[in-house]
Amino acid sequence: MLTAQYAVRGALVQRAEVLEGKLKASKTSVPFDEIIYCNIGNPQQLQQPPLTFLRQVLSLVECPELLKVPGVAAAMPSDVVARAQAIIRATAPSAGAYTHSKGLAFVREHVAQFIAERDGGHTANAEHIFLSDGASPAVKVGLTLLLRGKSDGILLPIPQYPLYSATIALLGGTQVPYYLDEANQWGLSVRELEQQWAAAKRAGVDVRALVVINPGNPTGQVMTYDNIAEVVQWAAKRDVLLLADEVYQANVYETGKQFHSFKKVLRDLKSPLQCFSFHSVSKGVMGECGKRGGYMEAVNVDDAVVEQIYKLNSINLCPNVPGQLTVDIMVKPPRKGDASYERHTAEMREIFDSLKRRAERLAAMLNSLEGVTCNPAQGAMYAFPQVRLPPKAIAAAKSAKVAPDAYYCFQLLEATGICVVPGSGFGQRDGTHHFRTTFLPREDKVDKVARLMTAFHSEFLKKHA
């Protein structure tokens, strides 16, 4: 447990919370008026509005008595009332009861329909779909099935989302890092996979699975169809199960880029590759992180293994019901002709377009800073710039007994109130320094972040010249 680390809620965030508490209590004088949390993909914390249709439906489901109050049903769009009534019937006698350990059957059926529509008609088996409290618990279930001890390894992208490294550490497995190519838009090379797989094998590590995050976190790249096909073919050749983290599939901003699921590609190739794929309501344009809704699909996985997944899920009884219902609305939103369609579509478009503008604006600002380079955020919710730190800054970090990029991030926080995460929390090539920042603050706040960060960086370089 002591070796497990989770940087997105680590020491920097704890310091930010202390500073925020002092600001609220007016007990200290600091050179900023607020903490701007850019450390985690938590959209509604940074005032992204929730989708109206979702909240209306959930309100009626959680309190069905509202439907009996004169004027309430009439004030709601007709499809909201119909959807709520259908869910109330399907969860009778109460949405507060435990559900099946896989999740509500009708939600899993809707997820299967969503996957088939997304993937050009490739069918999905609802019995191989497991609803979860966000994607993270489902990832942990997959890793629990795979890891028996230190001799079992998982290929992890570097940089990676620290859920994976922390969970592997907790389960006693071995991390087998493969490096994304920063000079090539954080590209994934099959040659790199083969080299790291071979090195692990020589060290006596049995590589049991490959983690791929697409679109990338923290790096924001979006994989091409051909690149995904190469990875599928390599993983099938080496009999390595694929863990496909696809929670940012709705967050693709760059013109000409398109999300392709690993499930679609392996079905197109008629590949026997075993795959667990993950999705979540926390990302996309819903941003319902606190609802804790997600799912895992087991593809080409034997029924006996599916039974073991069911057993592991049964230990926790069931996923939370509001999260399951949020998944249902994510995969089955209002359709054209429904009373809520126009408003829902407009809200989705407004949030997406704003995210795209913020991604472009933040990357442009970062690339304008001396000694900083940042690949464009093709997707997801983050920028991951490289910062070339002067020797004096690296020496100061050593004296402070922190990583050089952590030193930079702490200095940024203390000077501006902006909370980001050092690249060392995600992994990076030796000798390089990065940080991850979201572009989730409101557009006016993104402009503020740009101004503050530009001024700070200039002063930081002068101080450490």
pLDDT for the residue 79: 95
pLDDT for the residue 3: 46
Of the candidate ranges 20-34, 154-168, 326-340, the one whose mean pLDDT is the lowest: 20-34
Domain with CATH 3.40.640.10 in the chain: 105-331
pLDDT at residue 4 tops 80: no
Of the candidate ranges 89-93, 256-260, 345-349, the one whose mean pLDDT is the lowest: 89-93
Domain with CATH 3.90.1150.10 in the chain: 7-48+345-463
Output the average pLDDT for the chain.
Answer: 92
pLDDT for the residue 27: 59
Average pLDDT score over residue span 442-451? 88
Q: How does DSSP assign 185-217, residue by residue? A: TTB--HHHHHHHHHHHHHTT-EEEEEEEESS-T
The Cα–Cα gap between 423 and 406 comes to: 8
Q: Six-digit token pair at 375? A: 């690949």
CATH number corresponding to 7-48+345-463: 3.90.1150.10
- CATH fold of the domain at 105-331: Aspartate Aminotransferase; domain 2 (3.40.640)
pLDDT for the residue 28: 66
pLDDT for the residue 96: 85
Q: Given the DSSP bridges, would you call strands 294-299 and 386-387 parallel, antiparallel or unpaired?
A: unpaired
Cα 329 off chain centre by? 19
Average pLDDT score over residue span 231-248? 97
Dihedrals phi, psi of 16, to nearest 5 degrees: -60, -40
pLDDT for the residue 1: 45
Sheet holding 206-213, edge to edge: 129-132, 294-299, 275-280, 241-245, 206-213, 152-158, 174-179
Q: Six-digit token pair at 163? A: 């859920």
The Cα–Cα gap between 101 and 105 comes to: 10
Handedness of CA 135, 138, 140, 146 (dihedral sign): negative
Report the percent of the chain where pLDDT is more than 70.
Answer: 97
Of the candidate ranges 38-42, 61-65, 175-179, the one whose mean pLDDT is the lowest: 38-42
pLDDT for the residue 92: 85
The Cα–Cα gap between 135 and 327 comes to: 11
pLDDT at residue 448 tops 70: yes
Average pLDDT score over residue span 166-178? 94
Per the CB < 8 A criterion, the answer to whether 311 and 303 are in contact is: no
Average pLDDT score over residue span 412-419? 93
The Cα–Cα gap between 334 and 329 comes to: 8
Give ∠ CA 101-107-109 in degrees, rounded to 5: 105
Token pair 């083969």 is at which residue?
194
Per-residue pLDDT band at 47 (split at 50, 70, 90): confident
